[in-house]
Amino acid sequence: MSSRTDEAMIGVIAKSDQAAAVEEFFQLFKTPWEFYQPGRTYDVVVVTSDDVPEVDARLLVIYGANLRTIDARIGVAARARRRGGSLTYRSSQLPVYGELLTFEERDAAILRVSTTAEAAGLRIHGANITVMRLGYDLFDEVCYLLSTGQPPDNAHIPTLDVHITMLREWIVGAEITLLEIPAAPAGYSFAVSLTHDIDFGGMRSHLFDHTMWGFLYRSTIGAVRNLLRGRLSMSRLFQSWRAAASLPFVFVGWAKDFWEPFDWYLTVERNLPATYFVIPFKGRPGDKVAVPHPSRRAAAYDLADLAAGTTRLLREGCELAVHGIDAWHSVERGQEELKRVAGVNGKASIGIRMHWLLFDQKTFRVLEEAGFAYDSTVGYNETVGYRSGTTQVFRPLGARALLELPVHIQDGALFYPERLDLSESEAWKRCSSLIDHARECGGVLTTLWHDRSPGPERFWDNFYLRLVEALRLLDAWFATAGQVVGWFRKRREVSFERVEGSDGAAQTRLRYHGEEILPPLTVRVHRSSSTFVDIPWNGGTAIDVLRSAAPAATVVGSSL
């Protein structure tokens, strides 16, 4: 089916090696665009190439650290050039990772270097055109974010989402009607994907191994230290000691296994579908593990030992996915790992997250070739936030079908003494700012809580409970990792095409040929910087973009 509108089409003139980054950027900022074609008229032209042609547009956005011939003509002069920097846009921070050019001061600096206040972005008003001149290359930044990713120090900044916000604000600020499909289902502000990595599979599998001795130490001496640091209550200290004392009875089966992985989560997450990443093979540490103590990476449980639990999870609407060992570097091993978990959950479409979050530049191609539908490894072990600078599901550069569900909040990163080592109130502040951003920009908030985290000696249960209850109160769409990725995949499949209207004016047509989109997408028409109209669209029926509410953006639906 298709629909058409008569709002802005963006023409993009990029460097020849930036096509993939451009395409991915406009999958995230889902708005009509095309590579610039001479002779066509555009309301907005975005340029990163060195040559800026004469364009007939209302808004020209020029990105790049090289001076262009047009700069002299519009009165832009260079001040200094450097590699990387931290900029301030309104109240947002914006790290730049590539080359950065600052400009001689003019009346309309819109973006400044945070430390020196030098102008790094200018707005220049011409007679019929507004020019935005930015001292960095947008698509080089996108490429960096989606491949290398942000250093942990900048994890808290949703850099890629800020880039999208800026471009959107400049377009609607120039009073250009803009159509987009926001990154959240109709009726929701954002999605939530609750996930769990099953690393341990219960205490019972750990008789006399490194994990058991570590637990004994941390639940006794470590617990006293945590009491003294104010991180553990007296009652939790006694609970720790009781758990340690109960160990022999746990191993012989007379006492409850306090690391039983599923019961607690199923209670706390009642009616919320979660995704459990399970290790497919027992006793395999994996190859090419270039971090200390690689042997500790081997799982002590076999998937078959968890059969009662995994059956129950599937009955409750949860998802089982692969917690990969060798899939990140070997197609053949990946296929083996996929097959083992597919045998348990009976699904054709399976996702993966690598154990210990191992990956390299080739991982996405390897996973795709092995047959995985999505990956959810891109995140941090040492902190929380946005490695790729976004809340959105994206396609890693170089992949064809595989999508990435980024991980944002991880229990161990928040609380381990050798990681962020936060108190609960400090951790709450970090999580709140991530939630606030998701509510504002959409996308998905992905949480990762490990199987043994609610029990002794970690006791990260109350914090998680509070987090889930807080999220329940918001207008979030809770879905499994696979469902969230599926929704974003359908959003990606919507395309915009430019057609000539009966009056000769350029119009945009929405195309989608897949299954019904549930929950529906939102087609949003920005009429000005302060008003927009939202129309829910499930991709299957013709829509008329509220003629009455948005007369300048009439969408006529027609079945193809």
Residues found near Zn ion in the complex (CB under 5 A): 197, 199, 355
Phi, psi of 305 (to 5 degrees): -65, -20
Q: Nearest approach, Cβ of 267 to Zn ion (angstroms)?
A: 23
Question: What is the amino acid identity at position 181?
Answer: I
Number of other CB atoms surrounding residue 65 within 10 Å: 20
Nearer to Zn ion, 414 or 553 (CB): 414
Which of 39, 37, 36, 82 minimizes the C-alpha distance to 62? 36
Nearer to Zn ion, 13 or 322 (CB): 322
**CA atoms of 311 and 337, how far apart (whole Å):** 19
Which of 211, 218, 243 minimizes the C-alpha distance to 416? 218
Q: Which residue is nearest to Zn ion (CB)?
A: 355
Q: Which residues contact 363 (CB under 8 A, 6 or more apart)?
A: 328, 329, 354, 375, 377
Nearer to Zn ion, 134 or 354 (CB): 354
Q: Greatest CA separation found in the chain?
A: 83
**CA atoms of 405 and 319, how far apart (whole Å):** 14
Q: Nearest approach, Cβ of 415 to Zn ion (angstroms)?
A: 16
DSSP string, 13-72: E--GGGHHHHHHHHHHS---EEE--TT---SEEEE-SS-------SEEEEE-SS--HHHH
Q: CA 388 → CA 144, 149, 402, distances in Å?
A: 8, 5, 16
Helices (H), 229-362: 234-245, 247-252, 263-268, 307-315, 331-345
Nearer to Zn ion, 199 or 269 (CB): 199
Nearer to Zn ion, 6 or 197 (CB): 197
Q: Which residues contact 109 (CB under 8 A, 6 or more apart)?
A: 103, 119, 120, 121, 122
Q: Nearest approach, Cβ of 198 to Zn ion (angstroms)?
A: 8
Q: Nearest approach, Cβ of 275 to Zn ion (angstroms)?
A: 13
Name the residue with tokens 């908030």.
445
Q: Nearest approach, Cβ of 297 to Zn ion (angstroms)?
A: 8
Nearer to Zn ion, 291 or 505 (CB): 291
Q: Nearest approach, Cβ of 276 to Zn ion (angstroms)?
A: 12
Q: Nearest approach, Cβ of 374 to Zn ion (angstroms)?
A: 17
Nearer to Zn ion, 137 or 197 (CB): 197
Q: Nearest approach, Cβ of 408 to Zn ion (angstroms)?
A: 17
DSSP string, 330-366: -HHHHHHHHHHHHHHH--SS-EEEEGGG---TTHHHH
Nearer to Zn ion, 24 or 199 (CB): 199
Phi, psi of 361 (to 5 degrees): -65, -25
Nearer to Zn ion, 163 or 355 (CB): 355
Q: Which residues contact 520 (CB under 8 A, 6 or more apart)?
A: 185, 186, 536, 537, 538, 539
Nearer to Zn ion, 24 or 411 (CB): 411
Nearer to Zn ion, 161 or 451 (CB): 451
SS3 content of the chain, % helix, strand, coil (to 5): 35, 25, 45
Q: Nearest approach, Cβ of 199 to Zn ion (angstroms)?
A: 4
**CA atoms of 110 and 308, how far apart (whole Å):** 59
Nearer to Zn ion, 136 or 449 (CB): 449
Q: CA 86 → CA 114, 115, 442, 481, distances in Å?
A: 6, 8, 24, 33
Q: Nearest approach, Cβ of 375 to Zn ion (angstroms)?
A: 14
Q: Nearest approach, Cβ of 133 to Zn ion (angstroms)?
A: 46
Q: Nearest approach, Cβ of 320 to Zn ion (angstroms)?
A: 15
Ranges of beta strands (E only) in 117-206 are 119-125, 130-134, 178-180, 190-198
Quick one: DSSP state of residue 396?
P
Degrees to nearest 5, angle at CA 484 with 478 and 489:
155
Name the residue with tokens 């989560």.
265
**Tokens, residue 94:** 């914006």
Nearer to Zn ion, 199 or 337 (CB): 199
Q: Nearest approach, Cβ of 197 to Zn ion (angstroms)?
A: 4
